[in-house]
Amino acid sequence: MAPRPTDPRVAYRVEHETRYAYTAPVSQSWQLARLAPRTLPWQSVRGHALHIDPPPDERHDVEDSFGNCVTHFALHGAHRLLRVAMHCVVDVGPRPAAAPPPGGQAWERVRDAARGTPPGDDLLPARMVEPTRLVPLSDGARAYALPSFPPGRDWREAITELMRRIHRDFEFEPGATTVSTSVDEVLHQRRGVCQDFAHLLLACLRGLGLPARYVSGYLLTEPPPGRPRLMGVDASHAWVAAWSPAHGWVELDPTNDQHADARYITLAWGADFADVVPLRGVIRGGGKQKLAVSVSVLPEPG
């Protein structure tokens, strides 16, 4: 579906820079970057550039199985610093809203529909019920989800309440977890960051047989009253899209207790964080390394 000319769109400029500094020379480096915003019915890309320093000896772009753009690049000369900088300008509008069926749609019907969805979608809903390494099936997550899913309850009401419960019951605390912290650990300690809360919501929904995918991107944040917006202080964000045959993909942000709107810039999606890592790779040499990431999301004039 093409965007309607009357869609209210908001323009953003995003700058995402990653720097690796090494204590010893790296002789060779092979990297994968997922740093190109998706083109979607509600999101268009005015311009996009990916700058790599030192310049790579090899570079090519491909689409992965989820439709994300992946840049493969390699450096074969000695270097002590790797800098990858993404700049883009995107226009984002409201997500398309499907009219709910009369009387709503019971969550059990969504579960049953996912089991029989025909092929054709590039991200088959039935595929998004399967456990993954980062989001395995969790009895604890399923038990946590169940109070929001009594028999016959409307699917959208149930997933929205579950999102709000996660926001209420869990504390946002940077540094409390790592990329390897499990869903069950997050359930136990009741704290984490957006990646943890997205994985928890995925585990809850998939534990009930409901399709959901991991979404990565950026969120426009507001500075404190009277303070200017600062460059480089924003961060990548993560949220979840849940599927029903009547609504399509509905995006939920448990970190902020809200549905995604025109402030949410979509970068990539997949089954879990491992499918959308912005930059990952392997190196030879390098000794110890120091990582620095800077992200800025700014409204674009005009």
pLDDT along the chain (302 residues), means of 10: 55 96 97 97 97 97 95 97 98 87 90 73 78 96 98 97 98 90 96 96 98 95 66 77 94 95 95 96 94 92 72
d(CA 100, CA 60): 43
Count CB neighbours of 223 within 10 A. Answer: 10
Question: In this structure, which topology does domain 10-93+278-299 adopt according to CATH?
Answer: Immunoglobulin-like (2.60.40)
| 3-class DSSP string for the chain | CCCCCCCCCEEEEEEEEEEEEEEEEEEEEEEEECCCCCCECCEEEEEEEEEEECCCCEEEEEECCCCCEEEEEEECCCEEEEEEEEEEEEEECCCCCCCCCCCCCEHHHHHHHHHCCCCCCCCCHHHHHCCCCCCCCCHHHHHHHHHHCCCCCEHHHHHHHHHHHHHHHCEECCCCCCCCCCHHHHHHHCEECHHHHHHHHHHHHHHCCCCEEEEEEEECCCCCCCCCCCCCEECEEEEEEEEECCCEEEEEECCCCEECCCCEEEEEEECCHHHCCCEEEEEEECCCEEEEEEEEEEECCC
Return the pLDDT at 100. Answer: 77
Q: Is the pTM of this model over 0.75?
A: yes
Q: To which residue do tokens 């585990």 refer? A: 203
Count CB neighbours of 153 within 10 A. Answer: 17
115-132: burial string, b at 16+ Cβ within 10 Å, e else: eeeeeeeebebbebbeeb
All CATH 3.10.620.30 domain ranges of the chain, comma separated, are 107-275
Query: Can you give the length of the chain in residues?
Result: 302
d(CA 252, CA 242): 8
Return the pLDDT at 228. Answer: 63
All CATH 2.60.40.2250 domain ranges of the chain, comma separated, are 10-93+278-299
Residue type present at position 79: H
d(CA 210, CA 218): 25
Return the pLDDT at 131. Answer: 96
CA distances from 102 to 20, 95, 154 (A): 54, 21, 11
Question: In this structure, which topology does domain 107-275 adopt according to CATH?
Answer: C8orf32 fold (3.10.620)
Return the pLDDT at 193. Answer: 94
Return the pLDDT at 4. Answer: 41
